[in-house]
Amino acid sequence: MDVTLFQQTFDRTRQQMARVVVGQQELVDGLIVAAVARGHVLVEGAPGLGKTLVARAFAVASGCAFKRIQFTPDLMPSDITGSSVYSRETGAFTFMPGPIFAQLLLADEINRAPAKTQSALLEAMQDHQVTVDGTSRPLPGPFVVVATQNPVESQGTYPLPEAQLDRFLFKLTVGDPPAEVERTIVRHHADGFDPTDLSALQAVTSPQEILAMQRLAASVRVDDAVIAYLVELVRRTRDDKAIELGASPRASVALLKAAQVLAASEGRTFVTPDDVKPMIAAVLRHRVLLHPDAQLQGISADERIAEIVRAVPVPRLAA
């Protein structure tokens, strides 16, 4: 695969998803970028904004095997990973894989499960494998977790551990659509659109092509000046007075990988600072912890990140 084919495949996937997804362009692009960057996505938004529809549409357009887990307080780790079941016929234990053995896993309302169950995803998200009864089993590739959470309800929810939040490449926030977009959505439903029926979509790429896109994106050239720029952006979060806990070096790596994918999606074999800027908020907003005083003043993580972006000089690359 070359960068031209990469760009064409990226655009075809985006256009195919747009046949059923109205608006939510940031969520659509973020999911595609994360999949190609070998990352996972945490989506925060109120119910009814199309989070599940976007995930299902991407699964169809990419040809990936899709599974959904509805997280509840009584969900057990084995309900996710699978377990060994004793067979009387053979007199031995047989492993029954859980829903995590998919290429695109939708973890719906992930913050409704206790920490023990949430932690069942940690090894899978980091190492793309699952260990059950002392045996490690690889997950199919590509492997992407799309987790959703509701920012409004707090009763019966469990905050995600910092270690797990750091495993997500992006945190994408979904807000209410503009009036024009909402009218279009309602018109589609009035014309008979059924969000549970995606038979109108077709696979425009394949898991094998996505793996090839992952390899090409990893080869996109990054100048030392761009690396210094994105590292400085991340390091500034550790010195900001409004931020109690800044982002780790994992955030710098995540920002690099996302910028490489964005550059390739534009048909380029090199990264520019303009590929870094659009990714910075999605990469950092869930990796920084605001100081309590800043929270009392109503300051958001996105506001501090935007201020850091304005303060860091943008490098000029040699022609």
May I ask the CATH architecture of the domain 220-319?
Orthogonal Bundle (1.10)
Helical segments of the chain, H only:
3-17, 25-36, 51-62, 77-81, 115-118, 122-127, 162-165, 179-190, 207-218, 224-239, 249-265, 273-276, 280-284, 292-296, 301-311
pLDDT of residue 36: 96
The letter for the amino acid at 177 is P
pLDDT of residue 60: 94
**To which residue do tokens 């806990």 refer?**
245
Domains 1-218 and 220-319 share a fold: no
CATH fold of 1-218 reads Rossmann fold (3.40.50)
CA dist., res. 271 & res. 221, Å (int): 6
Q: pLDDT by residue for the chain (319 residues), tens digit each?
A: 899 999 999 999 999 998 888 888 899 999 999 999 999 999 998 888 888 899 999 999 999 999 999 998 888 888 999 888 887 888 888 888 999 999 999 999 888 888 888 888 888 898 899 988 888 899 998 999 999 988 766 566 777 878 788 889 999 998 888 899 889 889 888 988 887 778 888 999 999 999 999 999 999 999 999 999 999 999 999 988 889 888 999 999 999 999 999 999 999 999 999 999 999 999 999 999 889 888 888 889 999 999 999 999 998 876 5
Please say whether the beta carbons of 243 and 288 come within 8 A.
Answer: yes
pLDDT of residue 160: 81
CA dist., res. 199 & res. 313, Å (int): 48
pLDDT of residue 220: 95
Please say whether the beta carbons of 273 and 314 come within 8 A.
Answer: yes
- The domain segmentation of the chain, as residue ranges, is 1-218, 220-319
pLDDT of residue 318: 64
Q: Three-state SS for 297?
A: coil
pLDDT of residue 283: 95
CA dist., res. 131 & res. 148, Å (int): 24
